[in-house]
Structure 1
Amino acid sequence: MDWFAQIDGYCERTDFTYWSEPLNAITNAAFIIAALIMWRRTAGLPTARVLCAILFSIGVGSYLFHTHATQWAALADVAPIGIFILTYLFLANRDIVGMPWWGALGITALFFPYAYVIVTFLNNIPFLNISSFYWTVPILLIVYATYLRGTVAVGFIIGAAILSLSITLRSLDEILCTQFPIGTHIFWHILNGIMLGWMIEVYRRHMLATRAAER
């Protein structure tokens, strides 16, 4: 693979200069702002702060991709997202569902075959195939919400709703390019910053409630 091969995958990009996607680049501030806000709110919760650090890295990685537009920058973009998904899933299994660490790790590992099945299915459905991998997350959040119920379940449903809107707007980017030349990818960034910050908040509230109940 040529790690310096350039990628043009978004409506806003018209060439391969550094600032060809100014709005796509700048709106990554949503991830950074959400990470910094949640960092302050998660004092005393080291695992939640790990999530904040990963969220910060999502903003940095996505910024690199929307400025450099290369294969290595694409990896810097998607790797932190994958790490966030797996880390949050492990913590949800361990701290919210209440599994032992080894059980939480095993169930988290099942995300890979789960994602393979869902992506394979969605790749055969027009429009949903554009962002097929990302749809695995809101679907999984709904599954967990059905099992968990209560306030955490409501938090997961809210997260799934925000992410579903975000994925839809991401998928419309090139479809609406003629009518909306700046593209809709900027809303993917803004809504995802909100959604990921919210998911950390759901985890934070649960952890604080658990601590209070144990006193």
Structure 2
Amino acid sequence: MDWNAPLDNYCERVAPGLWGEPLNALSNGGFILAALVLWWLIRRRPGGPAAPASLHTLAALLLLIGLGSLAFHTFANRWSVLLDVGFIALFIHFYVVCFLHWFWGLKWKWAWLGVPAYLIAGQLISFTLGGLIGSGGGQYLPALVTMIAFAIALGFHPDESLRQYRKWFGLTAALFAVSLFLRTVDGPVCGDIVIGTHFLWHLCNSGVLFLVAYALVLRWREVTERQTLQ
């Protein structure tokens, strides 16, 4: 297999070359900016408890998503596509673990069971419903379904203070649905919109990932404040 073989997966690219997809490449700045803002929000409490490694890890993965996607939309070959999808997959699976820990209070060793659970559920969702979304968007359908499930589950959470987050995750899921739509129509609209819509997927998705990560930051602050008052 030639790992440097060029790929042409998106509307904007019409020829090989580092700047064959300028909007798709530059729009990854949204992920990088989201990661930097998230880090700033994590660290902006001088004198308070240090943020846990899990939150810093999410910020680092968000940054790596931007860099991995930037690599793919510039080099556009087999090795760079692995960076593109790989860092996204790491973020999603680690986020499931963090959600179970910070929102449901599971110990880390039990929260990690969320990874195989998500993998199994994701395969079932992709197998049954993935075909409804073209252009490879079906691989992200499990993430959308999971986000909706998070919103519903939080609505029934025994801790009333956590029920407010159901709207947060519900609205973020709606934004992700728009983002997924923009990713899916990149090919079909290519004849009419020569720049495609994939860059809008980047911009919307950077907002989605920032919002779900920031929800964990807020939850961590609530937990630490409760512990301080006890």
1:142-161 equivalences in 2 (<5 Å): 142-149=148-155, 150-161=163-174
Tell me, what secondary structure is at the counterpart of 2:139?
A: coil
User: Contact 1:115/1:136 (CA < 8 Å) preserved in 2?
Assistant: yes
Alpha-carbon RMSD = 1.3
Shift, 1:95, TM fit: 1.5
CA distance in 2, matches of 1:118, 1:75: 22
Q: Does 1:73 align with 2:86?
A: no
Residue 131 (structure 1) aligned to one of 131, 137, 153: 137
> What residue is the counterpart of 2:190 in the other structure?
177
CA distance in 1, matches of 2:22, 2:67: 14
> What residue is the counterpart of 2:55 in the other structure?
48
Q: Does 1:186 align with 2:192?
A: no
Aligned residue type for 2:210: G
Aligned residue type for 1:45: A
> What residue is the counterpart of 2:18 in the other structure?
18
C-alpha deviations, 1:27-73, integer Å up to 9, x for none? 00000000001100012323212111100000000000000000000
User: Contact 2:58/2:95 (CA < 8 Å) preserved in 1?
Assistant: yes
CA distance in 1, matches of 2:3, 2:119: 25
Shift, 1:128, TM fit: 5.1
Normalised to the residue count of structure 1, the TM-score between the two structures is: 0.95
Tell me, what secondary structure is at the counterpart of 1:110?
A: helix
User: Contact 1:122/1:128 (CA < 8 Å) preserved in 2?
Assistant: no
The structure 1 segments of at least 4 consecutive aligned residues displaced by more than 6 Å after TM superposition are none
> What residue is the counterpart of 1:201 in the other structure?
214
CA distance in 2, matches of 1:207, 1:151: 15
Q: For this pair of structures, how many residues does the alignment match? A: 214
Shift, 1:211, TM fit: 1.4
Shift, 1:145, TM fit: 1.5
Shift, 1:129, TM fit: 6.7
CA distance in 1, matches of 2:21, 2:109: 43
User: Contact 1:48/1:204 (CA < 8 Å) preserved in 2?
Assistant: yes
Gaps of at least 5 residues in structure 1 are: none
> What residue is the counterpart of 1:163 in the other structure?
176
1:21-36 equivalences in 2 (<5 Å): 21-36=21-36
Tell me, what secondary structure is at the counterpart of 2:131?
A: coil
Tell me, what secondary structure is at the counterpart of 1:204?
A: helix
CA distance in 1, matches of 2:168, 2:22: 33
C-alpha deviations, 1:80-131, integer Å up to 9, x for none? 1001001111011111111122221112221111111111112332x35741
> What residue is the counterpart of 2:102 in the other structure?
95
CA distance in 2, matches of 1:109, 1:45: 27
Q: Which has the larger radius of gyration?
A: 2
